[in-house]
Structure 1
Amino acid sequence: MARTTRTAGTARPVSARAVAVAGAVVVLVAGLSACGASAGDDTEPDHRSFDLKGRTLTVDSDDSALEIVATDAAREGRVEVTRWFQGSVVVGKDPKVTWSVRDDRLVLRMKCSGIVADCSAKHRVEVPRGTTVKVEDGDGSVRARGFRDPLSIRTGDGSVRVTDTTGPVDLRTGDGSIRVADTTGPLSMRTGDGSVRADVSSRDVRTRTGDGSVRLELGVVPDRVESRSGDGSVTIALPEAAYRVTTETGDGGVEVSVPRDETSSHVVSAHTGDGKVTVRTVN
């Protein structure tokens, strides 16, 4: 039987499999550094401009963070959209993006293929002041500001932030917090799971959360405030005035320090299944 003799200093042969594995690792690392870094830092966003036939617009997005802005700088009858890709593609093609306006509906879609570490984008939508906007976002946070006309936002999973509005505002999220500031129009807020915070001068405020605290601070004497939480504390801070107050909590204390008058036209209702209820004067 033949025997192989290895002499000192002779290099051990490298198998073809080891070479192939090493080569694959090099290629994958190169792909990670080349594709991931460039796709994850989008310094040159895409931009589109669309005709707006009327004074209403529905923004329909499947999975993107949205920023919706009403501004005097926007051209009359035009919608300006800017998109930043915020994810990272390891191996594969760039995301497939579609965006279009049909009638009064702006549809935003993005589809990633290959090996994707994160497939997400941010869209900024600018509309002329005087436009009524409805937002439908499947999964993503939404920010909006500058509206003087009705604004409605629905998102399945994501936080909602609204500032600087004077028209009616209606906000809904299945899972996410809601924050509102510098708003004077009627305000309605609902979240399935998340806290609600509002520092506003609205005369009609209604809020509901399945699981989360509620904190409202009003800059004017309201006509009506209604707040309900399934599980979480409720705090309402009001300007000096007499109020008709009703409170209820399944498990928690109640503290009402505002002047009370059962005949007052200023009605405040605060209810929670589990948590403290506080109705006080603004500090």
Structure 2
Amino acid sequence: MGRFGRGGVVVGVVGVLAAGVVGCGASASEDDEPEQRSFALHGRTLTVDSDDSALEIVAADGNPSGNIRVTRWFEGSVVIGDEPEVTWAMKDDDRLVLRMHCSGFIADCGAKHRIEVPRGVTVKVEDGDGSVRARGFRDPLSIRTGDGSVHVTDTSGPLTLRTGDGSVRAEVASRDVSTRTGDGSVRVRLSVVPDRLESVSGDGSVSVTLPRATYRVSTHSGDGGVHVSVPRDDSSAHVVDVRTGDGGITVRTAN
């Protein structure tokens, strides 16, 4: 009985440790005293390089200095291990690097950044893990995240959106739009007639809403219904390509 009891204790302790390492994820919204900082941008392009943070990217007026303004929220704790921290820095004059260091026993951290970008700047976002929201852009905008949803509004410049795992939403006035997700739904609503629209999902439904016009439409669904109600003409200069591996496709005209 004694040997069995000691073994039971060991198994119990291991189980507790295993459960404790997982953690549940702190919420950055609980930080009621966010930090703010400005970074000088040299040139008219910006790359936002983030490893693990929710991002809000905003094209802002009224910034005569031309600097990038960043507000950061962070909540984190580690029971056993190094103190969690977040860092920010401008590298190579045009790459904003955001990092979160959070590891150890019961590591529980969350970060969010709001980035205000002057008008006239081309923006490229590279986020390893986290949702991305963006609005207000007239210049080219590219967003790629490994794991997280993407949502863009009030934007008229060329648009490229990519996520490995998450939904994609765009309510924009862009004439050149490309969206892709490995696993998640896609919803695109355009307020102008596009020259080119490509929307792809590996696993999820795709819904596209377009202004009234005639389009050259191509669709493919590996497993799901396809409904196209916009006027079609194979010689149209307005090209719409919609594909999904598993899910329904809808291409319709806005009411």
Relative to the length of structure 2, the TM-score reads 0.78
Deviation at 1:95, TM superposition (A): 2.6
Within the candidate set 148, 156, 167, 1:166 is matched to: 156
Partner of 2:165: 175
Secondary structure at the counterpart of residue 165 of structure 1: coil
Partner of 2:17: none
Question: Do residues 217 (structure 1) and 206 (structure 2) align?
Answer: no
Partner of 2:112: 122
Contact preservation (8 Å) 2:89, 2:97? yes
One-letter amino acid of the counterpart of residue 153, structure 2 = T
Relative contact order: is structure 1 or structure 2 higher (C-alpha 8 Å, sep ≥ 6)?
A: 2
Partner of 2:180: 190
CA distance in 2 between partners of 1:267 and 1:143 (Å): 26
Within the candidate set 44, 48, 56, 1:55 is matched to: 44
Cα gap change, 1:48 to 1:116, in 2 (>3 Å): farther
CA distance in 1 between partners of 2:222 and 2:26 (Å): 52
Cα gap change, 1:257 to 1:214, in 2 (>3 Å): closer
Contact preservation (8 Å) 1:69, 1:144? yes
One-letter amino acid of the counterpart of residue 90, structure 2 = V
Which sits farther off after the overlay, 43-52 or 245-254? 245-254
Contact preservation (8 Å) 1:54, 1:77? no
Deviation at 1:45, TM superposition (A): 0.5
Question: Do residues 109 (structure 1) and 104 (structure 2) align?
Answer: no
Contact preservation (8 Å) 1:51, 1:79? yes
The CA deviation string for residues 169-204 of structure 1, in whole angstroms up to 9 with x for no partner, is: 101100000001133231110100000001113402
Deviation at 1:214, TM superposition (A): 0.2
Gaps (5+ residues) in structure 2? 1-24
Within the candidate set 66, 85, 88, 1:96 is matched to: 85
Within the candidate set 123, 129, 133, 1:139 is matched to: 129
Deviation at 1:76, TM superposition (A): 3.2
CA distance in 2 between partners of 1:275 and 1:39 (Å): 34
Secondary structure at the counterpart of residue 193 of structure 1: coil
Contact preservation (8 Å) 1:92, 1:113? yes
Q: Alignment RMSD, CA only?
A: 2.8
Cα gap change, 1:243 to 1:94, in 2 (>3 Å): same
CA distance in 2 between partners of 1:39 and 1:162 (Å): 21
The CA deviation string for residues 122-162 of structure 1, in whole angstroms up to 9 with x for no partner, is: 00111111111110111000011111111011100000010
One-letter amino acid of the counterpart of residue 39, structure 2 = F
One-letter amino acid of the counterpart of residue 156, structure 1 = G
Secondary structure at the counterpart of residue 172 of structure 2: strand
CA distance in 2 between partners of 1:271 and 1:51 (Å): 41
CA distance in 2 between partners of 1:37 and 1:251 (Å): 38
Secondary structure at the counterpart of residue 47 of structure 1: strand
CA distance in 2 between partners of 1:73 and 1:201 (Å): 26
CA distance in 2 between partners of 1:209 and 1:174 (Å): 10
The CA deviation string for residues 64-98 of structure 1, in whole angstroms up to 9 with x for no partner, is: 00001111033432011111114455577753221
CA distance in 2 between partners of 1:157 and 1:72 (Å): 30
Partner of 1:85: 74
State the structure with more CA Rg: 1
Gaps (5+ residues) in structure 1? 1-35, 221-238
Partner of 1:42: 31
One-letter amino acid of the counterpart of residue 38, structure 2 = S
Contact preservation (8 Å) 2:72, 2:112? yes
Partner of 1:65: 54
